[in-house]
């Protein structure tokens, strides 16, 4: 195996697969690292081995993932599945764990394709067993052919919620109720972007899917408050429609979804600058048109650099790979720009209608800024009320509340609380989230055992530096 790759790509979803394929085909020594045992990322999870063989259940958009895996396999890129990346140094050395042993893998250029995760949807009771992300339920369907049974309630907003409902119905699974939290006023705000959306590829497919789900499942709209209740596990979902009275539904499973946000932990820990995206209400690493970050030699492709969806991710992967070729001295600027043209066009097409979706499916303030008794940090069990108390004591941002409360200090390293904590502090201070900031994350971005660290190969110099200092 090559000791120093020209290009290392982290994440085997659409962006990572497309980037690695393009680079390797053009003769660049490329390695694709991925935490999962098989390629596809989350959107095309288990694409090579799903037990759900009936193609109409997961739908044609899912099966498109196979078109990315074939060319990748033929590209000549090395592939290291089951690799957990826990750091990237300024010298572009990647720290990773694989099969219980850690190693350092140097690269000349790195493309992060770490994708997205579901926006935390903190409601009272969301830590109860039986409550999980709609995306999580979709992963169970894709990887294992498992569907929720008993009383199943879906709650939230966003394309994935409706897609999961549609896939469940296709699979013959039952959904009792969908609690739609899309705020009514979002429609008014989204309308100016409707024309662009009508020109997108989403409209036909999206409408058909929505209508089919609405025909078969009871949908309660304009839901303004939600609470999961139960003894040791979820048993019921209490909800409120608009200003109406509370109502209760029995639930064995509650699947929550409020869209997805970029998974920024690795980029943040590398030191890449990031900015607050007001439209998507999340932190996004700051990148140029090619996905290049503020750290030399590190680019980001796909949803990890701002949510644009799976098709856009492919094209963003190819653009980042072309820029990497240029930076590695393989092609000049003119060739990069020329070869990028079709991918830029395709990217523009894939992004059409995105603003409409972002605006329509923006979660309501009351869900982004939960009430006092709601746990925001699942790991350390810190409530929104505790965060507000800390703000009163003078904490101005997530790093201070972290020191005061351990909020964000658990194993998930803020992935499940960060966006909420930012919003709660911003709301309490009456300032923009941009001013409040985000956690300053540090490596390792995933927990690593001392045994794994101790297994790192060491040079004579490194041993001497410690023993004879």
Partner 1 sequence: MFQRLPNASGERVSFTIDGRPAEALSGDSVAAALFANGVQTCRSTPVSGAPRAPYCMMGVCFDCLVIIDDVGNQQGCQVRVRPGMRVETQNGKREIAR
| Binding residues vs partner 1 (CB under 8 A) | 35-37, 42, 46, 49-54, 84, 117-118, 127-133, 135-137, 139-140, 143-150, 171-173, 232-233, 252-253, 263, 378-381, 410-412, 415-416, 446-447
Q: C-beta of 403: minimal distance to partner 1 in Å?
A: 17
E-strand ranges in 267-312 read: 274-277, 282-285, 298-300
Phi, psi of 45 (to 5 degrees): -55, 135
With CA atoms as reference, report the closest residue to 391 among 426, 435, 438, 437.
Answer: 426
Q: Which is nearer to partner 1, 51 or 242 (CB)?
A: 51
29 versus 263: smaller Cβ distance to partner 1: 263
Q: Judge whether 439 and 399 are in contact, CB under 8 Å.
A: yes
Q: Which is nearer to partner 1, 117 or 300 (CB)?
A: 117
- What is the nearest approach in angstroms of partner 1 to the Cβ of residue 139? 4
What is the closest distance, in whole angstroms, from the C-beta atom of residue 410 to partner 1 in the complex? 7
3-state SS class at 244 = coil
Mode of pairing for the β-strands spanning 253-258 and 260-262: unpaired
Shortest distance, CB of residue 262 to partner 1, whole angstroms?
A: 12
Question: CB 50 → partner 1: shortest distance, Å?
Answer: 8
The DSSP H or E segment spanning 454 is: helix 450-454
Q: How far is 349 from 353, CA to CA, in rounded Å?
A: 9
Nearer to partner 1, 144 or 195 (CB): 144
Q: Give the shortest CB-132-to-partner 1 separation in angstroms.
A: 5
Q: Name which of 112 and 132 has its Cβ closer to partner 1.
A: 132
Written as six digits, the tokens of 34 are: 């991925």
Nearest to 164 by CA among 184, 187, 141: 141
Closer to partner 1 at the Cβ: 253 or 299?
253
Residue in the block written with tokens 């607050």: 276
Residue 381 or 435: the one with the smaller Cβ distance to partner 1 is 381
Residue with tokens 């409409």: 356
Q: What are phi and psi of 253, to 5 degrees?
A: -135, 130
Closest approach of partner 1 to the CB of residue 360, in Å: 24
Q: Which of 55, 69, 52 has the alpha carbon at shortest distance from 18?
A: 69
Cα three-residue angle 335-2-272, rounded to 5 degrees:
60
CB of 120: closest distance to partner 1 in angstroms? 9
Distance, CA of 225 to CA of 239 (rounded, Å): 5
Residue closer to partner 1 (CB basis): 234 or 298 = 234
Q: In this structure, what is the dihedral angle of CA atoms 338, 343, 344, 350, given to the nearest 10 degrees?
A: 170
């Amino acid at each position: 195996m090559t000791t120093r790759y020209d290009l290392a790509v982290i994440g085997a979803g659409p962006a990572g697969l497309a980037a690695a394929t393009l680079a390797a085909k053009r003769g660049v020594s490329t390695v694709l690292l991925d935490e999962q045992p098989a390629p596809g990322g989350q959107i095309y999870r288990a694409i090579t081995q799903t037990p759900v063989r009936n193609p109409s259940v997961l739908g044609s958009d899912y099966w498109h993932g196979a078109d990315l895996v074939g060319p990748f396999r033929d590209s000549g890129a090395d592939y290291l599945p089951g690799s957990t990346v826990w750091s990237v140094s300024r010298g572009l050395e990647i720290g990773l764990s694989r099969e219980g042993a850690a190693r350092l893998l140097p690269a000349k250029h790195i493309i992060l394709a770490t994708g997205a995760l579901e926006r935390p949807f903190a409601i009272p009771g969301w830590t109860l067993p039986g409550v999980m992300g709609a995306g999580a339920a979709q992963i169970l369907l894709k990887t294992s052919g498992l569907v929720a049974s008993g009383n199943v309630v879906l709650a939230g907003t966003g394309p994935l919620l409706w897609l999961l409902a549609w896939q469940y119905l296709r699979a013959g699974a039952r959904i009792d109720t969908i609690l739609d939290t899309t705020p009514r006023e979002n429609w008014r705000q989204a309308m100016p972007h409707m024309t662009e959306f009508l020109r997108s590829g989403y409209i036909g497919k999206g409408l058909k899917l929505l209508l089919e789900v609405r025909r078969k499942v009871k949908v309660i709209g304009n839901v303004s408050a939600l609470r999961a209740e139960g003894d040791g596990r979820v048993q019921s979902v209490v909800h409120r429609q608009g200003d109406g009275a509370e109502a209760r539904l029995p639930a064995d499973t509650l699947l929550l979804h409020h869209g997805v946000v970029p998974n920024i932990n690795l980029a943040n820990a590398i030191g890449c600058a990031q900015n607050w995206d007001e439209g998507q209400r999340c932190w996004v690493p700051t990148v140029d048109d090619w996905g290049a970050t503020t750290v030399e030699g590190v680019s980001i492709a796909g949803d990890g650099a701002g949510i644009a969806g799976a098709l856009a991710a492919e094209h963003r992967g190819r653009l980042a790979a072309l820029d990497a070729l240029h930076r590695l001295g393989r092609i000049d600027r003119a060739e990069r720009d020329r070869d990028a043209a079709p991918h830029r066009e395709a990217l523009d097409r894939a992004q059409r209608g995105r603003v409409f979706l972002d605006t329509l499916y923006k979660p309501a303030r009351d869900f982004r800024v939960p009430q006092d008794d709601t746990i925001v940090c699942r790991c350390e069990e810190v409530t929104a009320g505790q965060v507000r108390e800390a703000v009163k004591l003078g904490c101005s941002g997530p790093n201070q509340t972290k020191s005061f409360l351990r909020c964000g200090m658990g194993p998930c390293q803020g992935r499940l609380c960060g966006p909420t904590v930012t919003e709660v502090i911003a709301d309490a201070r009456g300032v923009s989230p941009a001013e409040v900031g985000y956690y300053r994350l540090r490596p390792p971005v995933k927990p690593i055992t001392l045994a794994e660290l101790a297994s790192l190969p060491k040079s004579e110099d490194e041993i001497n530096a410690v023993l004879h200092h």
